[in-house]
Structure 1
Amino acid sequence: METKWLLLLTMAILSLLVFVQGDEEMSSVKPIVKIVKGKKLCDKGWECKGFSEYCCNQTVSDYFQTYQFENLFSKRNTPVAHAVGFWDYHSFITAAALHQPKGFGTTGGKLMGQKEVAAFLGHVGSKTSCGYGVATGGPLAWGLCYNKEMSPSQTYCDESFKFTYPCTPGVSYHGRGALPLYWNYNYGETGEALKVDLLNHPEYLEDNATLAFQTAIWRWMTPVKKHQPSAHDVFVGKWKPTKNDTVAKRVPGFGTTMNVLYGDQVCGNGDDHESMNNIMSHYLYYLDLMGVGREEAGPNEVLGCGQQKVFNPSSSSSSSSSS
């Protein structure tokens, strides 16, 4: 009898080893490599789509895996969440794959890649959270609770863009997506860039999680205005501050990503601003959960933007948020 149980136990362990090994092989795609003008370029298929030198590096799925996504967004599919079954890891990686050849999560080595993913998702988590002070698991565990604004107070149609991004009759341009888009001009501009008709069909963002992540990563990777940096550039250190930036206390790091994305809705309002601190808290929480540690976030002048002068005051802002 003991021999039989020992045999069954051995078979079970061997099966588990085969499963784990197979799972590792699935999560580690060997890149297709080609040399162009002496440069090594790679493509990793759905994990990093398009030949580039960045795809030869560690890509997002190499250091950010399904279990980590589940840890970061542990409450998103609870019955009281508002977008149950919508957001998933595969959609995030599929969207990221389109931007990794441009450096998303692949710039500056593994640690910088991990920090950038935590930073980007910190914004996403804070903007899609339904967490509150005494929520189960804590207020930071409820990111990706929403995929759209639930009770919009207006249709967010700006008629001053009627010649470039005219509002479609009967359509509302309220917040949708991972970094919620508002206003017809933002739907129009983003749709043009991604070759998707979001101006006529903004609802696509609440129907397709990959597209919802893709629009958010595009915003992260793209300057709001010409001659300004993207959130990606200021985070990974590709942006070099001018003398004016230094005077305005704008420095490379997480704080300036908030300045790029939200302007004076979040930044330049002092260090006690609730929205700013909420976004920062999500970033620090995700750094911890990813095993990087919040100490990698840097000092407060890098982490926050309370003392910064904004790039685009709200009167001229075209950021993705509602103001």
Structure 2
Amino acid sequence: MQISAAALLAVVALSVILGASSDGDYSSTVAKVKTVKGKKLCDKGWECKGWSKYCCNLTISDFFQTYQFENLFSKRNTPVAHAVGFWDYQAFITAAALFEPLGFGTTGGKLMQMKEVAAFLGHVGSKTSCGYGVATGGPLAWGLCYNREMSPMQSYCDDYYKYTYPCSPGAEYYGRGALPIYWNYNYGAAGEALKVDLLNHPEFIEQNATLAFQAAVWRWMTPIKKSQPSAHEAFVGDWKPTKNDTLAKRFPGFGATMNLLYGESVCGQGDIDAMNNIVSHYQYYLDLMGVSREEAGPHEVLTCAEQVAFNPIKPAVTASS
């Protein structure tokens, strides 16, 4: 029997509700601590559960609260937005809780943690924005305007994956979510990781904000290829570039996250609008979270303007002898 995405995630949402105080404060958690083989491990209940070293740090709700979410996405529920009433703080925190024991928003000290949340949401805001140059509040205030592609030109079914991620009859795999998912193989992989049948029911993503955020954080935390870092690892500095990476001008930082998530569609082309838009959202969110823009690093770290793509669509052109 199939269980709807809403029902499947209700248990997680309920744990958040029970873990919060009656006034809606999600930050009140008591840490359990133990030492295993000389390493300190913690469990903070609903938000960071499972005896992890990362749970000994601040959790996201300790430094990023409802009013900050509202500031970052201040125009998402205006009448002209396309996903009014869909996205909210609780959905984000509930989704993040699944990955905080793995280091999402819980790696390093408070500054790094705030920067990672701003970086992740910078991608989200830029990919779901309906802001434009003269939009009320400025073009960067309109993140989370969408939860789906409005006018898909195709169903995004790639028959090459018919044995691993076969397209479900009638299903359409157009862009949905906080970091929009496209194609049957991406829905299939995300569904396997989140234990939700997204291959047969891709529509679940646009029906449940917690699931939509979970899929986005999963993409942030998961390498596209085993030989490569995740966006998370590249951002927090857990990734150590190889000599080839250095020659390709790939360095840990926000620029590398764009490279890993979008490749040559935004990277390696100089300071193009597509790249600058994502960077601007990140910087705008840093401002609103009270973090200096200087903390984002120099141009070669902040951007991917000169980086060679990790996963080029076309093979590199070499000079003939």
TM-score between both structures, scaled by the size of structure 2: 0.89
- Report the residue type matching 1:283 in the other structure: Y
User: How does 1:165-184 map onto structure 2 within 5 Å?
Assistant: 165-184=165-184
Give 2:279's aligned residue. 280
Q: Deviations over 1:74-110 (max 9, x none)?
A: 0001111111111111111111111011111111110
In 2, Cα distance between the equivalents of 1:26 and 1:241? 37
Give 2:51's aligned residue. 51
In 2, Cα distance between the equivalents of 1:286 and 1:258? 16
Q: Which runs of 5+ in 1 are unaligned?
A: 1-20, 317-323
Distance 1:26 1:98, change over 3 A: closer
Distance 1:169 1:141, change over 3 A: same
User: How does 1:37-116 map onto structure 2 within 5 Å?
Assistant: 37-116=37-116
Q: Deviations over 1:166-196 (max 9, x none)?
A: 1111111000000000000100111111111
In 2, Cα distance between the equivalents of 1:208 and 1:50? 25
Give 2:209's aligned residue. 209
Q: Deviations over 1:13-46 (max 9, x none)?
A: xxxxxxxx98597522112333333433222222
Give 2:288's aligned residue. 289
In 2, Cα distance between the equivalents of 1:308 and 1:96? 29
Give 1:141's aligned residue. 141
User: How does 1:1-323 map onto structure 2 within 5 Å?
Assistant: 27-271=27-271, 273-315=272-314
In 2, Cα distance between the equivalents of 1:160 and 1:262? 21
Q: Is the Cα contact below 8 Å between 2:126 and 2:281 reproduced in 1?
A: yes
TM-score between both structures, scaled by the size of structure 1: 0.88
Q: Is the Cα contact below 8 Å between 2:26 and 2:61 reproduced in 1?
A: no
In 2, Cα distance between the equivalents of 1:140 and 1:266? 18
Point out the structure with max Rg over C-alpha.
1
- Report the secondary structure of 1:93's partner residue: helix
Distance 1:146 1:298, change over 3 A: same
**Structure 1 stretch 86-95 or stretch 29-38: which is displaced more?**
29-38
Q: Deviations over 1:218-264 (max 9, x none)?
A: 11011000110110011000011111000000001000000000111
Aligned-pair identity in percent equals: 77
Distance 1:25 1:156, change over 3 A: closer
Q: Is the Cα contact below 8 Å between 1:48 and 1:96 reproduced in 2?
A: no
- RMSD over aligned Cα, in angstroms? 1.6
In 2, Cα distance between the equivalents of 1:212 and 1:168? 20
Alpha-carbon distance, 1:143 to partner: 0.2
In 1, Cα distance between the equivalents of 2:220 and 2:110? 19
Q: Deviations over 1:285-317 (max 9, x none)?
A: 00000001211111111111011000101259x
In 1, Cα distance between the equivalents of 2:40 and 2:251? 32
